[in-house]
Structure 1
Amino acid sequence: MDVMVAVIRPKQGHSGQGYKPQLYEILLLDSKTPPGEKVKPAKYLPMFQMKVGEEEPRALVLTQVQRLTNIKGERALQVQWSSDVSASHRESLSQFCLYFVPVSPNEKINKRFADQAQNAPGFYPLDYVTEVVNNGSINFPSSTKKLLQHLESWLKEKHIRPNAIECMFRAGAEYRIHFTVHNPVFIPSRITSDTNTGGGGTPAPQEVVKVANEALAKMLFIEKCETVVINPLFGSNLEYKTKPNSYVINQHWPSIPQYDKIIAATLPGPSWKVQYPLHSYAAAGDKTEVEILLKQGYPHSQLDSVSCAPIHYAAWYGCISVVETLLGAGCSPNLLDGTNSTALHIAAKKGNEQLAQCLLQCPDIDLNIKDKDGKRALDICLSVPNKTMGHEQVEQLVREAADRPNYTVEVFLMDKTSKNLMLTSGFRTTVQQLNEQMMKEFNLPKNYSDIFTLWIGSKSLELQLKLEYEVVKALQQYNTRTVHMLTDSKNPSEEEPVLTWRRNVKVSVEKEKQLQHTKALDLLFHEAYHNYISGLYPCKDKDAVTFATILLCLQHQETTRVKPALSNLSQNQLKELIPAAILRHKDTSHWVNKISKEYPNVRDTPQQQLKSQFLTACQRLTVYGSAFFMGTIISPLRKAPTSCYVGVNDIGIHIIGLHTKQMVQSMVYREITWKHIAEKTMLEIRIIRPVNRNPRDSSTRGVIEIRTRQAGLIDHLMQQLDRMHGDYSNR
């Protein structure tokens, strides 16, 4: 049997909630293409032959990994097929067996060994490997490609199971047994630090070496003293809470305050604690209970009976960890209390430097908010009596924050308007975070969160971004990497990337028809109009007349203005109502007469209902809801290659002439099979003759080739949509 091995090296934080491919690296072998040869680099998983039953397979896998890479893995786990993998997919890979070998985060490949190896091993980020597998920029054997895709699904499943990831990457038992001696000074003789071994042998964890050395130093020191008093908390930076029956904190000690100007925060009685438990725990600094209540759905920004939110109590009592928790849950740092004060005003009054640092890390914090006395946080720092070092430090922090730029990004809508959104996590802000901001901008309900998402595009390319993508990184790499990899553009630098918030291609038309929110329908209408007028929704002349009539009524909200507008329609005005590819077939008078006859059917219809009618008519078109790509079609029915748009939606693939804007071929998933041929940057579609079709009809047979650098993206999207939405017949 052929055994393939996935050697995985994790990064810090990999065991957190949710699978993140950027936190893993995978070992691949390189084919070492000779210099000067114009051949794509080829990479593949380590593989070797294994005879079943001759030796313990896991031990053999680890031995082979060490021979190929000079790396000693922790353990070898066989990757089992999950229940959602099709029988045909399993059968095609039945001769392969995939093993997962986790290694230490500190494990590195010896450079001399890699240079001398026949097929140089190297670690590559797993998110990068997934991306190049999908877009075909690097050659992978088909078996490696399929097993990599299966490995990612397997890892996602492991992340769902509690403690599964921690157990997989835990150091081996043979290694852990060396640290079972309960003597803090003890360091195993066979396992020492890097500095002691000079690089030879297995390094002990640095924290073990540090603790052992510190303990030894204390013991030597104690031996020279007659009397020793040990304070276990001294210098440890451990959080420690006393448990007295009651205590009073003087916020103004050691300075002497002006008692007539003190604003004291007093908590209401027991009934308040019952009515506002989140506020109560925030004031007490109980981070654990605050997190529990937030998960249960308690509102983080609710004002209590004295117009204070939990963040104001946490700020007043200096509970920084609770403030961080509330901010992380979505609470705004600009939330006002009954005196129009924010948490930053409280930090200024208290001279609390740590609180100010925590709040000023929020990119959307407003430094110019004034309280009931007309003072900003900076004004309070300047005018506070008995100014302390803390007040001076808060003042400096606020001044520095005022000088930093506000990082925003412009996101366009399909009606050509735009929104400037704050990069709430700076340059690490994700698509998911911007989507959440857009949902708030339009006040859309939570169950609409998957209807719209962020796209990036230019004149040669449009891509729907994954939710975990960092937006700034996507913009920075667009000209230098994305356009170069996925288009034939001769001037990638001229492809200026634009972010657009629009329909999620993975949403089915059937689900879209159930939407009722007015703003959501407006957004969908503008996108449908853009695609229709651009010629991406090929339709019959009769449909074009219906669309044009609705659009004309929308342009003139008063019905009395429609007929005069009809009599004066020019060719240029018609271009806003009818796609140019359809418009050029007939003269202006023809279209005016047709629209005039259709007008009584939509006269006196409310504007919102007109938009719904337009959208409903578009939804009946086979190509509606597609993501569009560009390429060249080679078909047995056409004599020469034809430049085209390739539309992919929940029911199939649709090919539209680039210049004619006419439908060349439209195929549903149940009528075709397809495969991505990476080395030819081509998608090969084989048409299967349906039972209810005429066997003499040549349009239902043959092979269609679509040559495009975007073939990998098309293939991946088709597989996802076919799997998600099943087998739809023509709409």
Structure 2
Amino acid sequence: MDFALAVLRLRRSTHHQSRDFCSPQDFEILLHSSLGSSKLRTLLQFRTKRNEDPTEAVLRFARRIQGVLSRRAVPIPVYTSTVDVPCSSSFPSPPLICLPLTDLDFDAEKFDKNAEFCNFAHVLNDALNESPSLDLPTRHFVRRIEEWLAIEQRGSLGFLSSLFHLKASAERTRLCVHNPAYDPQLAYFCRSILGQNGSAELRYNSSYLEEAVKQSNKTRAKMIQLDKYDQYQMNPLYGAKHSYKRKIEAPEYYAKGRKIIRIQKATEIKSPKELWELHYPLHKAAFDGDAQRTKMLLAQGWDPNVKDDDTWTPLHYAAFYNKLDVCSELLLHSKIDVNITNKTGITALHFAALNAHEYVVELILTHSRAQTDIKDNTGRTAYDLCANMPKKEWQDVANLLRKRMEPSKIEVHLSSGLTLQVKVNDVKEATAGEVRDQIFAELELDKSAEAIFAIWIMNSRLSLQLNAEQKIMKNIEKWKDYIEKWGDEPSSPHATDDEVRIVFQRDAKTFVRDEEFAVCCHTVIYLLLECKTSNRTKSTFP
């Protein structure tokens, strides 16, 4: 039986970091490169014997190659639904097995000399774009692996820990609770495996019981070290109150001289989930998406910023599970901290961006105190979590965050000393004429006064007037060159240049008759007066 083997491991940058969710950027996958000029990359192909369990075959093969006990091999459903299953006439796809690894020094050549680990995000991008560097089955398998990882992580917060870090059952077995001397057949088997004399008659009367137990315990412990037993438990006192033939041989040493302690059982033991629901009802309402209950609990005085045992707030749960109505109720609360982080430094905006919940991201960004530049413990912002994902849903969220991160207003100083925040379409491409028109609209100035005012860029050493078609930011970037060519000498050798300002003031080419013909309102007269007063004080022109 043939099947495809997907060897996954965490990247070195995320190997020792606690994560609630990992994107394809955090994984590496082992690919085989074919010889020749085509360099076609495929998943590893594996063949098992007839009626052999593929997962057991993979673990046995990995153990032989690595020399250590692999943790687990997990089968991945090749198709998400019956609709995706090919018809009977098509060639069936082989089963897909995932082998998770945590050994960063793992040598890929031991599996395949032509194999190497590749960034899973890059491979996924090639698969989504139908790159010819991947064969057709590998493209389908890569897309299926990404969907499987995303679904399992959203379904269980401890999925990654269980997949990569939880030790195998054989490694976790460190204690054997039993009385091997109570079962002659097992004691005989253990001794024969270890090369001891198993044919000798075993006597279990009271005089030999203690020595037999001691020796058999050592034997069984040795068996566990040799991985001959996964787990073995026996209760030697089972049925001691009932009459049966070997009752006299029951090992009284087990509880000899000790009083029987009767422990009263609790009438009701609550599970961790029930305790969580009891202690954090607002978190539970957010998790369930119950907006009405969320509103009621907030009205009763429950704090929306309280963290549960996992350091999540109700807004974290609502953003992670795409509960838009609950997010709306929480954000309307006057004391909500929209930027609060959990133990990994992740905000609710991080979770919404990570899962491509576009409407939740847009809703959070409407909050006046929402910050897009907060970084988690790995140094990534909400934008970083979705910018590298090639799917449309994540790119739409990235565009939302990018627009919020880019400034959309320019600060302009008036000659009176006041400042205006002028809104433009693109800060980098904004021209002096566009900014001047926006100022006229905000100050409600008459169009006849357009020839009187202009946009300037200046500091204490130089003042430059811009033409209407010149781009403001382009000229500010060249300011150092302008200072070297036309700027005044600094007032002292150690003086530093002050910041460049954008100023709205009188056009230097304006004649007095232009001012007389302009329909001047009170604001125009005030601006001209302040400009002339300032220039006369600085002795720039009369």
Shorter chain as denominator, the TM-score bin is 0.3 to 0.5
TM-score with structure 2 setting the length: 0.36
Structure number with greater Rg is 2
Greater RCO (Cα-Cα under 8 Å, separation 6 or more):
2
